[in-house]
Amino acid sequence: MQDAIVELAGARKVFASPEGGEVKALDNIYLDVRRNEFLTLLGPSGCGKTTLLQSIGGFVRLDAGTISIDGADMTRVPPHLRPVNTVFQNYALFPHMSVEQNVGYALEVRGIPARERREKVGAALVMVGLGGMEKRRPNQLSGGQQQRVALARAIVARPKLLLLDEPLSALDRGLRHSMQIELKNLQNELGISFVFVTHDKEEALTMSDRIAVLKHGRIQQIAAPREIYDRPANPFVASFIGVSNMFEGSIDSGSLVMDRGETLQLGRTLQDCKGRATAVIRPEQFSLSFEQDTRAGIDVTIDQVIFVGAGFELYARTRGGRELVVSAPASARDDVARAESDRRARLIYVPANIHLMPGEGGSQ
């Protein structure tokens, strides 16, 4: 795989948990980070995503497995000799140094002369939109500015790979969104790979070329955002990425039979499957109807309708008591109004669009 900048093979790391047991932070991880790729490690806290990032940075020593960066084995190489820089979660700016000294630190320790250093620092600061702030101290900057200094500091030495450990989690919502876009642009501009850790699925979906979803130290799925969203590999990924409507049951002659006798028609390609499975129908894949016809549909009562600006969200309930979420565009205003006043409707779906996953349980 010559287009991989980082290769992890069979990486394992076990920590002693505070309760006395063991926690598998990394459980036999195989991961390639491609060149010029924005890869996001996504998962709930404790899933091992930060450990994975730190093992690339060199702060965590693997119990087993190897890691190579740009073709060179880095498994036992200490952090300061790796061609990798990190943007830390709390920024970790040196409080006793000015912005210029902070950003120039990586160049200084490499013995780069002051003149060249000043130029590069200036360029890096301009790149993150902080030109002219050289003489300030970190504590004189806002959270967003500190964030940018940390970014400039990490890119000034042109690492082969930039690691970002939940760098946006401390920023407020609006700032976070604009930083997401800037980060993505910066990555394009620099032409290096970013490995980004987050527990925020919106962030992951917005910025990434690929997303790796982790749970209990294992990679659950690694794919492009759309793929992850449309075709989650298992119920955990589906629920973590925010899929609402999941149906568990067993497949029987072309339909999914659920526990309370409800059934779901499956598309032709899924006719031959067998066993237990979970089906996904996303909220926007339903359409509202009020007629009984031959189309596949579910009869529901409507509990609540919420206006969400771009459209509506309907909270519905099947006869078996299963709760469903339906989203309807603003153009379906009349149907929504009728559903709200009737308090009942029929949800039409296209069997061929149903995504089926092996296994059970939407909850983690």
Partner 1 sequence: MSLNWLFRGGLVAYTALFFAFIYLPLALIAVYSFNSNPVNMMTWEGFTTDWYWQVLGFKTTVSEAAMYIESTGQLLAALRNSIVIAFSTTLISTVLGTALALALYRYDFLGARTYRVLMFMPMLVPDIVLGIALLIFFVNAGVHLGIGTIIIGQCTFLISYVFIVVSSRLAGMDRSLEHASADLGANEWVTFRKVVLPQLMPGVMGGALLAFIISMDDLVITYFIAGTDVTTLPIFIFAMLRRGIKPEINAIAVMMLTFSFLVASLGLYLRSRQK
Residue 111 or 275 with smaller CB distance to partner 1? 111
Give the footprint of partner 1 on this chain (CB under 8 A). 57-59, 78-81, 84-86, 88-90, 92-96, 105-106, 109-110, 153-154, 157
CB 261, min distance to partner 1, A = 56
Residue 59 or 315 with smaller CB distance to partner 1? 59
Residue 60 or 316 with smaller CB distance to partner 1? 60
Residue 120 or 355 with smaller CB distance to partner 1? 120
CB 230, min distance to partner 1, A = 37
Residue 79 or 254 with smaller CB distance to partner 1? 79
Residue 15 or 59 with smaller CB distance to partner 1? 59
CB 156, min distance to partner 1, A = 9
User: Residue 259's CB: how many other CB atoms inside 10 A?
Assistant: 11
CB 157, min distance to partner 1, A = 7
Residue 9 or 77 with smaller CB distance to partner 1? 77
CB 80, min distance to partner 1, A = 5
CB 114, min distance to partner 1, A = 15
CB 6, min distance to partner 1, A = 15
